[in-house]
Chains A and B, each alone.
Chain A
């Protein structure tokens, strides 16, 4: 079966850096997405990786290694508003999105 694994919950301190990992086992690969979801709200798009390497976008960066079936989302200079769930999703060979359950990130002052 297809599977996306992410830690359930992480805690970090305001101003610090946190890395949220995602490992995947899917039938083929056509891109990996990271979404942010605040409690009770809809997911919003953060990043997209289809080639190996690091994609940087402001305070957020996302890394992909296709050979390892691995990605991470790196958040720098954490702010209280970054408290949210972060969802990893992989598009498989049938172009279906396979979603992880999300990582709840708690930011402490």
Chain B
């Protein structure tokens, strides 16, 4: 089945120790998104790629970086995780940014714990 796969599902790191989360998709979608979601809160968009065009949200901290080496893969790098970065990180894809019922397809998420 075509899908969005995130690894790892659970990541435990120490304060300040870099972390990389990965996302792969078999949907051949142009757009890939990274969201941060804390408990009982709305997903917060960190950045998205339209093909190779990178779009950073204005309030995304510099501590968060992303790479998209090809259509299928996207990575989220957290350079120096703080306690406030503990959250679920959701990767999503869509066929296009704007057309019609532009449904986001989400991966299962990566839950980050910072000790």
A-side interface residues toward B, CB under 8 Å?
A: 4, 8, 30-31, 33, 40-45, 48, 50, 85, 87, 91, 95-97, 99-102, 104
A95 and B101 alpha carbons, distance in the complex (Å): 11
Judge if B81 is at the interface, Cβ distance under 8 Å: no
The binding surface of chain A is classed by DSSP as: loop
- Judge whether B40 is part of the interface by a CB distance below 8 angstroms: yes
Asked if B103 contacts A45 (CB within 8 A), the reply is yes
Rounded to whole Å, the gap between the CB of A6 and the closest CB of chain B is: 9
Total residues of chain B contacting the partner, CB 8 A? 21
Mask of B73-110 contacts with A, CB within 8 angstroms, 1/0:
00000000000000010100000011011111111110
Do residues A43 and B106 form an inter-chain contact, with CB atoms below 8 A? Answer: yes
- Does residue B27 face the partner (Cβ distance < 8 Å to A)? no
Shortest A103–chain B CB gap in Å is: 10
Q: Would A101 and B107 be within 8 Å (CB), given that A48-B101, A91-B102, A95-B98 are in contact?
A: no
B40's partner among A41, A95, A102 (CB-CB below 8 A) is A102
Give me 19 A-to-B residue pairs in the complex whose CB atoms sit less than 8 angstroms apart, sorted by A's number: A31-B101, A33-B103, A40-B111, A41-B108, A42-B109, A43-B104, A45-B104, A45-B105, A48-B103, A50-B100, A87-B43, A95-B97, A95-B98, A96-B45, A97-B45, A97-B104, A99-B43, A101-B41, A102-B42
Residues of B with C-beta under 8 A to A8: 40
